[in-house]
Structure 1
Amino acid sequence: MNVLSVILNKAASDLKVKYHHRCSSSKLTHVCFADDLLIFIDGSLSLVQNVLQVLTEFELRSGLAELDTIKASTGMHQGSLHVCYLGIPMCTKKLSLQNCEVLLHQIKGKFSSWSVRSLSFAGRLLLIKTVFAGINNFWCFTFLLPKECIKRMNSLCGMFLWNGNIEGSHTAQVSWEVVTKTKEQGA
């Protein structure tokens, strides 16, 4: 997007693109945010055509059109790079359960550490409400989690709450739905 910004600003300084009348004093040609772009210009046909030329120039410089040609001529498909940022996978598509393995592993790590083994029931409940909720909120702020991931997280919380660990089988003394009720609902 930096390259596109430079190209648009140069087009405006070369008078190929005329500023929108409300943007001329600030010399604002465009605003970029993530993968969105707003271009502010005088709406004449010739200037719109000039902006389209700028976008075509950007397409050629970025190699986006060339990528399609390479895929078509070689028969290769485009892969993706699995990248994490701040512990969260960066993906452009809806998260799968496999993408959430990092989250589940993080929760298992918190519940399996030696320091939580001697916690009382109340201590385990407090740990779930604070640490688990913090991790969960951090992820949910960014993504819609798959239902299966949420089920597994709830299962891990239930096993940890009732047994003090997440290994082996367990029998719940009270259903998880009752445990997660608010104080106003009678829990």
Structure 2
Amino acid sequence: MEYLLRILKEAGEAEDFNFHPRCFKLKLNHLAFANDLMMFCKGDMQSIKNVSQAVKLFSSSSGLFANNTKSWIYLAGVSNDFRAYAANTLDFAFECLLVQYLSMSVTSKRNTTVGYEYMMDKMSNRIRSWFARKFFYTAQLQLSTRSS
């Protein structure tokens, strides 16, 4: 994985690579998580080719390949023809930017309370479950009458 990150960093340092406007100050072109990788660039063909070449170099060197059924490309502010071309170049499917990552909605806009409902419901259910398992019935009854 370290090798892939080094290759992506070098791809970002190429003269013809353009960073996404919100990533330019940090010179950010990728984020790596435990078993996920997000790559960022401006929506121009040369930058996308740089990222594609970096991924192909890593694959040919290591024998590891991205799972195309679990990999997507997200583009905004470009024509449909360009989207199709970019998706074919990277050999990934095109997706809309309304996805869930780690149970949170990922959008191009600020999340509203609706965006956090799923997470809040999940947390509430876990707390109720924990509360029911950890406290005796009399303690639960006593706490519930005090909070009412």
Measured against the shorter chain, the TM-score band is 0.3 to 0.5
TM-score calculated relative to the size of structure 1: 0.34
Higher gyration radius (CA): 1
Greater fraction of residues in strand: 2
